[in-house]
Amino acid sequence: MQLLTPRLILRPWTDSDRLPFAKMSEDPDLMEFLRPLATRAAADAWIDFQKSHQSSHGFCMWAVESSASGIFMGAVGLLRIGFAARFTPAVEVGWRLARPFWGQGFAIEAARASFGFGFEQLHLAEIVAHASIRNTRSRRLMAKLEMSHDPAENFDHPRIPEGDPLRPQVLYRLTRDAWVSPMKTACSALAPVASSA
């Protein structure tokens, strides 16, 4: 399956994505607020996890490519959260795009396509997002996506060691009702089109 937006294709991972993803994961600016993928093996394992998640659940953080050029741009999509917290079980939306594609609305476009799939195809009641409390770029994106944030729901990531500056996290939420009205109308131009290709 694929999700199509005016500029992007969100699709399953292929072996040809492994090298550009590994190169992308070496960028210190991209990885500043993410757990490191310090080796090619770690980057490959991350992709393998996404492929396994797709097989098990029907969705993952998909590979993203430009519909105009076919160039690999990064990963955006949905994941079942694999750790225990006050807000789990839950499905999260996530993104990581190579730096040349920042600031052009691609992450918002792909995230909205992921919301559409999650709410309209999977019939999820809610989708969440979380990030380091210091990650202002992602927090701005969550706000632009009209996700809500209650500071009382900030939490310490249980898989990040105490003392690590990435451990304090913010939580943002978007419900299906909020997506349908008014966001669905406002974003209808970016609604995903599912393809069996």
* Range 104-118 average pLDDT: 97
At 186, list the tokens.
């406002």
Q: Are 92 and 81 in contact (CB under 8 A)?
A: yes
Q: Given a cut of 60, is residue 197 above it in pLDDT?
A: no
What DSSP character marks residue 77?
E
- What is the structure's pLDDT at 81? 97
Domain that holds residue 173: 2-195
Express as a percent the part of the chain with pLDDT over 70: 91
- What is the structure's pLDDT at 180? 75
Structural domains counted in the chain: 1
Termini Cα distance of the chain: 6
- Residue 94 pLDDT grade (very low, low, confident, very high; cuts 50, 70, 90): very high
> In the block, which residue shows the tokens 């990581």?
96
- Nearest to residue 187, comparing CAs of 101, 115, 96? 115
* Range 74-93 average pLDDT: 97
Mean pLDDT, the chain, rounded, equals 92
Q: Given a cut of 50, is residue 96 above it in pLDDT?
A: yes
pTM as predicted: 0.89
* Digit-coded pLDDT (tens) for 19-39: 999 999 999 999 999 999 989
String of DSSP letters for 113-158: HHHHIIIIIS--SEEEEEEETT-HHHHHHHHHTT-EE-GGG-EE-T
CATH of the domain at 88: 3.40.630.30
- What is the structure's pLDDT at 1? 83
**Widest CA span of the chain, in angstroms?**
46
- What is the structure's pLDDT at 67? 97
* Range 105-128 average pLDDT: 97
At 156, list the tokens.
């310490």
> In the block, which residue shows the tokens 């409390």?
133
| Better pLDDT: 47 or 183 | 47
* Digit-coded pLDDT (tens) for 135-190: 999 999 999 999 999 999 999 999 999 999 999 999 999 999 999 754 455 444 44
Distances in Å between the alpha carbon of 107 and those of 21, 40, 77, 142, 182? Answer: 16, 24, 10, 10, 20
